[in-house]
Structure 1
């Protein structure tokens, strides 16, 4: 019986920690972002900066949909609402707005990178120049 309660407690803590990083936490650190991305290899990595910023360097596999563009809602509506969506911008401000819009549109698993690509680079994250 004691083992049952210990297992139950561990399960609750584990589930809470995973759920915390997705949707409930305003933003996650680079290390958590990397871990969540590794656990979700089919996640959509969404760069919400301008096309010019995106073309200057982004994360590998990232899709660019500018949160400040009038077509943002229309474009993100094309994405799978059940997929894990990992958003980032330059420093975290625009991605927080994008995350809220995504959640409001019914996306259930949204992760926002704290410090944006700026902190990503500082932590040694790989940056690529997208093919045009």
Structure 2
């Protein structure tokens, strides 16, 4: 009697696991004035041209030295002076932010939005940012 129940439980667990792995079309929530881009997307064409964007790498200086987008500035989101350094930038300019996986970039975008920045894009990882912007990765 227990065998049919076990088979049913295993079948349901497998089905739920596969459904959770499917490539859905949902997108992460963003705040007004922010956007998340990936390797198949580019910043909204209604915004300023990419050449006018300031690109910020929010990884550690050591990670930045290993490879970063050409022309990107490095402001470590985990550094004690992150908010102070970001506050020195104009809040109405366009910014593209990236890190290693996109998680620190999301945290940086949230902090920047709280500080009044109005046009901030999370480009995700270094690879995603390079693919979506077309900017080469360089190292120091």
Question: Shared topology, TM-score over 0.5?
Answer: yes
Residues 1:32 and 2:37 are matched in the alignment: no
Identify which of 92, 101, 106 aligns with 1:96.
106
Closer/same/farther in 2, CA of residues 49 and 33 from structure 1, 3 Å limit: farther
Q: Helix, strand or coil for the counterpart of 2:78?
A: coil
Q: Helix, strand or coil for the counterpart of 1:97?
A: helix
Once the two structures are superposed, residues 14-65 of structure 1 have per-residue CA deviations (whole angstroms, 9 ceiling, x without a partner) of xxxxxx8x7344x211343467698231211000000000000100110000
TM-score scaled by structure 2? 0.67
Point out the structure with the larger strand share: 2
Q: Helix, strand or coil for the counterpart of 2:96?
A: strand
Identify which of 88, 95, 105 aligns with 1:85.
95
Larger Rg: 2
Residues 1:62 and 2:75 are matched in the alignment: no
CA RMSD of aligned residues (A): 2.7
Q: Which runs of 5+ in 1 are unaligned?
A: 1-19
- Contact 2:37–2:43, Cα closer than 8 Å, also in 1: no
Aligned to 1:51: 61
Point out the structure with the larger helix share: 1
Aligned to 1:117: 126
